[in-house]
A = this chain, B = another copy of it.
Amino acid sequence: MPDAVLTQGRASLSADSSALEVRLAARHDGFTGHTSGVASAHVQVNLAILPAALADDFRRYCELNPMPCPLLAVSEPGSPALPALGLDLDVRTDVPRYHLWRHGERVAEVNDLRACWRDDLVTFALGCSFSFEHALLAAGISLRHVSEGRNVAMYRTNIPTRGVGVFAGPTVVSMRPMKAADAIRAVQITARTPQVHGAPIHIGDPRLIGIADIGRPDYGDAVAVHDDELPVFWACGVTPQAAIVAARPEFCITHAPGYMLVTDKLNSEL
């Protein structure tokens, strides 16, 4: 495991941690590491936090693009709670890293939102591919980025989403290299959980979905794809982030890709 992870307060967290342990570690104990592979029985979610004026359009955008944007919960305006996903849960503090955006430009990466919170902010929680990794690992399918302690590799594609109002843009995918037999099983396993992206949207040649260089992900960390493996691509919850950035709202907040909110919901409930 890279030193960077160990120095981010992750040393005490593991696949067996409870969701609340991970949230409290982020809230109080300086945990700022990525969440791939921690509390692995639990649903992890992507966050998009937007001014209320944009909330209706964004909700509709998610509904029209359910594979990259599987909507699991929406907050009341101004509330940092998401009671459907956990009772002791504060979206302002419980994510290891957040990105702050103004007019489509990232202006800061922070570990706490309390200083910039506003009464009109609406939080959207979207399903994340980390959630189905638990099922893949349970089926004996090895995931290279997990075994190497890296963030999953993510790429912008040439597959457009269906636009609503100011929200539009390309589908972002996460990629996991697998032998063909595992890829076939992974299709069957992930197809069962449409709330966390469902089946892959592409397998094989990355150029066919507009990825020029598989070795240079747009988000996360590169992993090797061996000669006897296929890259397998799932729609990714970073997709709505890309749409939000392109929409250039005067202010918004996202989680940092790979640094998710870990909820009390179990993957087995999906």
Contact = CB atoms under 8 A, between A and B. Distances in A.
Nearest to A186: B187
A180 B199 contact: no
Interface centre among A187, A188, A208, A230 (most CB of B within 10 A): A187
A169 interface: no
B187 A204 contact: no
A184 B187 contact: yes
A202 interface: yes
A92 B29 CA distance: 78
- Contact residue range for chain A? 10 to 19
A181 interface: yes
A184 B200 contact: yes
A141 to B, nearest CB: 14
Interface centre among A181, A184, A202 (most CB of B within 10 A): A184
Contacts of A228: 205, 208
Contact of A199 (B184, B200, B202, B204): B184
Interface string A195-239: 000011111110010000000000000000000101000000000
A182 to B, nearest CB: 11
B184 A201 contact: yes
Nearest to A191: B188
B184 A203 contact: yes
Contacts of A203: 180, 183-184, 203-204, 230
A143 B94 CA distance: 50
A201 to B, nearest CB: 7
Contact of A204 (B191, B208, B230): B230
Contacts of A185: 199
Contact of A180 (B180, B184, B188, B204): B204
Given A203-B203, A203-B230, A230-B203, A208 B180 contact: yes
Nearest to A159: B181
A179 to B, nearest CB: 8
Contacts of A181: 201-202
Contacts of A199: 184-185, 187-188
A41 to B, nearest CB: 25
13 contacts: A180-B203, A181-B201, A183-B203, A184-B187, A184-B199, A184-B201, A187-B199, A188-B188, A188-B199, A203-B204, A203-B230, A204-B230, A205-B228
